[in-house]
Every structure is written in structure tokens, then in C-alpha cells.
């Protein structure tokens, strides 16, 4: 990371996701979850998901939303599924902040909506890739720190 990076902090709340990344929704098209299926394709191009839990942590930053500026990592036309179309993916740096605990570094997982066939997110929801974090549950309030050079957090009413 660039030492001149300007980090912005935003409050977030953990919310339920589609449970597709983890495979907990039991969709037969994605045995074991989409992340498990995608991981070998990302690894083949040098991006290892091995340090992260095999699910995304979905968080709402409402009443704010995000605007993509420039992802440090993007992969185009990833054909990770035998019948689904190829998708574009970007990954952004993020730190999960909780009171009186060290920050946890991770990535924002961003399947591009224009290439994603289903399971769209609300404009205030981010999907996080993190190591497993004990004790987190739906409704928990946390903070995120995100480099402004990668993603802008802005008021959803503007």
C-alpha cells in the first residue's frame, strides 16, 4: 500500500447476504459456494484467497453508498463456472475496525454488476473477504477503513 494513501472510515452494520459465496444457500449450481469455485481461477492469475474465510461478510454502510474509483486488482472475463457466463471481478483494500481490537486487513470483493448474472447487492452493501473473525453476528456495528484512492464513500442522498 502507498504510504500517502488517504483512508476514510465509515460506520457499517453486518447484514445477511445471499449465502451464495459460502454455499450455505445450497444452490446446486454452486456446490461448496462460489468463492470455493472461483478460488482456483484467481490463484492461477496470482491472487490467492487462501488467507480469507470461505464466505463474504456483508455490511451495509447506509445512509452512505460507495463509488468505485480505481481497484488495485481487477480480473476480466473470468470463466469460473462451466455454464454461467464469464465475469469481471475487482478487489479493494479494506480494514475492519472494532473497538479496542487491532484492525483486520481484508479485501472488498466486487463482482462487476454488468457481468454478474444474479444475486445483486444494494448500493450500500459491500462484500468483505476477511480471515475468520470470531464473534461477529448480524446486526453488529463495526467500522470500515477504505482508501479514498480506490473507493469513495458518499451520502446516498446526493
| Segment 86-122, tens digit of pLDDT | 999 999 999 999 888 999 999 999 999 888 766 556 7
Sole residue written with cell 475496525: 97
Query: What fold does the segment set 7-155 form as a domain?
Result: Elongation Factor Tu (Ef-tu); domain 3 (2.40.30)
Domain positions in the chain = 7-155
* Distant-in-sequence, close-in-space partners of 106: CB < 8 Å, separation ≥ 6: 52, 94, 95, 96, 128, 129, 130, 131
Burial 50-69, CB ≥16 within 10 A → b, else e: eebbbbbbbbbbeebbbeee
Global pTM reads: 0.88
Amino acid at each position: 500500500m502507498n504510504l500517502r494513501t488517504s483512508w476514510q472510515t465509515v460506520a457499517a452494520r453486518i447484514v445477511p447476504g445471499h449465502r451464495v459465496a459460502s454455499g450455505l444457500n445450497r444452490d446446486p449450481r454452486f456446490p461448496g459456494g462460489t468463492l470455493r469455485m472461483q478460488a482456483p481461477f484467481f490463484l492461477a492469475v496470482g491472487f490467492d484467497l487462501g488467507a480469507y474465510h470461505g464466505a463474504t461478510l456483508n455490511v451495509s454502510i447506509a445512509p452512505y453508498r460507495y463509488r468505485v474509483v480505481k481497484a488495485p486488482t481487477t480480473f476480466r472475463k473470468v470463466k469460473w463456472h462451466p455454464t454461467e457466463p464469464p465475469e469481471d471481478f475487482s478487489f479493494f483494500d479494506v480494514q475492519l475496525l472494532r473497538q479496542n481490537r487491532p484492525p483486520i486487513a481484508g479485501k472488498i470483493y466486487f463482482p462487476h454488476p454488468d457481468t454478474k448474472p444474479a444475486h445483486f447487492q444494494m448500493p450500500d452493501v459491500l462484500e468483505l473477504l476477511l480471515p475468520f473473525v470470531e464473534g461477529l453476528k448480524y446486526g453488529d456495528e463495526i467500522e470500515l477503513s477504505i482508501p479514498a484512492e480506490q473507493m469513495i464513500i458518499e451520502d446516498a442522498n446526493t
